[in-house]
Amino acid sequence: MVDVNKRLKVDRSLEIWRRAEESIYLGVQTMSKSPKAHAFGAFPIYIDHGKDAHIFDVDGNEYIDYVCSFGPIILGHGYPRIVEAVKKQLERGVLFSLSNENEVILAEEMIDSIPCAEMVRFLKTGAEATTAAVRLARAYTGRDKILHCGYHGWNDWYAATYRKSEKGVPKALEDLIFSFKFNDINSLKALIDREGPDVAGIIITPLSGAEPTKEFLEGAKKLAHDNGSLLIFDEMFTGFRLAMGGAQERYGVIPDIATFAKAMANGFPISAIASRKDIFANCSELSISSTYAGEILSLVAGIETIRELREKKVQEYTGEYGERLMEGLKEISCSTSMPLQVVGAPQLPYLNFDVDKEVYEDVWTLYLQEMAKRGVLVRRKMYMYITYTHSEADLKKTLDAAEGALLVVDKALKNGDIKSYLQTVAPSEPSYLSISR
């Protein structure tokens, strides 16, 4: 049992991190995993293994996992049906120089599930899928400009939106992409009025903390079509999570193209674009190709994940769990007087703190620190991802942890000395940063 007054023991994590900083560029493969984004020194950095909805760090601490690898884990870690199917395939081969029937089976499963999918194409990552979707929209319309709302990956076409802080992205691309605000149809209309004839596609991540209004999604579709542009939904974390047919099923607005990845294979690396046949038919010469896109372990994991989601009605389970979690968090927020915002869809609750800018980051750091000590792993400014293996006991433990953590945050805020409650340590600088050109 962890003593909640003491700092969480993460010595082994810190030891490995020191090696990582010297051997891995920026220390991580996914920027969201950077320990500097959490509570450095008071939060785990390295996970050893996972089982169901629980993960275990290299120091032996156990957590209920609500980050779920940033969305991919929807059934649970080491979920038997997926493990068995993948093991069986592993013995038969991972990748061949010709195609494999599992590609077709997974394609058919997706077409059965997703309203806009008449055909699909597989890739490996979310960024690859959104890049393919944008290329498809540009090829179909013969136009270059993209209007977007949300995060769509690290590739150049999208990174151009934040190029000012991002070196290595060609400046010329900045003139091809423009951002509009979620749930603000007028901000999209203003862009259409300005860039209209050059706009190939409008790409939207259809959940942004809060749920989308009908006016926003339907309005975006009408604006796109009246302008001769295509509507793309980036369903990376809503796909298979909100419903079998993703956000387009839940909100009843069918886009022209959609992209998927995270929950479709319970953690295996695979992504997909889905669209209508007439759109693909007009883009038959498009060069989208990748050696690993037909890797069979992920295809098999995808097939079994989608079948399990459908057979077990997983989104009903996670939705009911999520609703109770949101209710419980709202009650705690009232009883602790913490200004906590609890929004999102039942399958994807989203938390935020409505506190002064000066203390905002520290409030999150303290909350993460206190939740980790109480055996619950969450991330700052993020959805709480729920799996089919989160249990009744997990729900109770999570709400107890949230109450304990929020009481500490509340006290720290009232005392006006939040920093004194942080048990974090200052991150070191890796030695290579002192090398000059």
Ligand X SMILES: Cc1ncc(COP(=O)(O)O)c(C=O)c1O
Nearest residue to ligand X, scored by beta-carbon proximity: 126
Q: Least distance to ligand X from the beta carbon of 125, Å? A: 4
C-alpha to C-alpha distance for 280 and 142, rounded to whole angstroms:
14
The residues with which 146 forms a beta bridge, in sequence order, are 177, 201
Helix axes 185-195, 214-226, angle to 10 degrees: 10
Binding region for ligand X (CB under 6 A) out of 233-241, 291-299, 392-400, 411-419: 233-241
- The H-or-E segment that residue 314 falls in is helix 314-336
Q: Least distance to ligand X from the beta carbon of 237, Å? A: 5
Interface residue with ligand X among 12, 28, 56, 151 (CB under 6 A) is 151
Given the complex with ligand X, which of 30 and 420 has the nearer CB atom?
A: 30
Binding region for ligand X (CB under 6 A) out of 104-112, 119-127, 189-197, 311-319: 119-127
Binding mask of the shown chain, residues 173 to 212, with x at each position contacting ligand X by CB under 6 A: --------------------------------x-------
Interface residue with ligand X among 34, 100, 125, 179 (CB under 6 A) is 125
Q: Least distance to ligand X from the beta carbon of 411, Å? A: 34
The residues with which 120 forms a beta bridge, in sequence order, are 274
For residue 311, count CB atoms less than 10 angstroms from its CB and return exposed for 0-12, middle for 13-18, buried for 19 or more: exposed
Paired tokens of 367: 């909350």
Q: Least distance to ligand X from the beta carbon of 256, Å? A: 17
**DSSP SS3 for 292:** helix
Given the complex with ligand X, which of 41 and 201 has the nearer CB atom?
A: 201
- Count of CA atoms in the C-beta half-sphere (13 A) of 182: 13
C-alpha to C-alpha distance for 289 and 47, rounded to whole angstroms:
33
Residue of 302, 312, 351, 298 lying closest to 328 (CA atoms): 351
Paired tokens of 286: 């498009």
C-alpha to C-alpha distance for 14 and 22, rounded to whole angstroms:
13
Residue 295 interacting with ligand X (CB under 6 A): no
Residue of 356, 368, 379, 378 lying closest to 405 (CA atoms): 368
Helix axes 392-415, 357-373, angle to 10 degrees: 140
Q: Least distance to ligand X from the beta carbon of 206, Å? A: 9
Residues 338-367 that bind ligand X (CB under 6 A): none
Interface residue with ligand X among 46, 56, 70, 317 (CB under 6 A) is 70
Paired tokens of 213: 């209004």
Interface residue with ligand X among 41, 44, 150, 246 (CB under 6 A) is 150
- CA-atom Rg of the chain in angstroms: 22
Q: Least distance to ligand X from the beta carbon of 72, Å? A: 9
Query: Residue 166 is which amino acid?
Result: E
Q: Return the sign of the alpha-carbon dihedral for residues 372, 374, 378, 379.
A: negative
Interface residue with ligand X among 103, 211, 234, 370 (CB under 6 A) is 234
Q: Least distance to ligand X from the beta carbon of 190, Å? A: 23
Given the complex with ligand X, which of 121 and 374 has the nearer CB atom?
A: 121
Residue of 345, 337, 69, 318 lying closest to 206 (CA atoms): 345
Given the complex with ligand X, which of 236 and 274 has the nearer CB atom?
A: 236
Residue 266 interacting with ligand X (CB under 6 A): no
Residue 37 interacting with ligand X (CB under 6 A): no
Q: Least distance to ligand X from the beta carbon of 339, Å? A: 26
Given the complex with ligand X, which of 166 and 278 has the nearer CB atom?
A: 166
Count CB neighbours of 357 within 10 A.
Answer: 6
Count CB neighbours of 165 within 10 A.
Answer: 6
Binding region for ligand X (CB under 6 A) out of 9-17, 36-44, 234-242, 357-365: 234-242
Count CB neighbours of 396 within 10 A.
Answer: 12
CB 180 within 8 A of CB 188: yes
Binding region for ligand X (CB under 6 A) out of 3-11, 83-91, 126-134, 276-284: 126-134
C-alpha to C-alpha distance for 319 and 310, rounded to whole angstroms:
14
Residue 152 interacting with ligand X (CB under 6 A): yes
Q: How many residues bind ligand X (CB under 6 A)?
A: 14
Q: Least distance to ligand X from the beta carbon of 123, Å? A: 10
Residue 127 interacting with ligand X (CB under 6 A): yes
Interface residue with ligand X among 153, 212, 319, 344 (CB under 6 A) is 153
Query: Residue 218 is which amino acid?
Result: E
Interface residue with ligand X among 39, 177, 261, 300 (CB under 6 A) is 261
Q: Residue holding tokens 């997703």?
A: 114
Residues found near ligand X in the complex (CB under 6 A): 70, 125-127, 130, 150-153, 205, 234, 236-237, 261
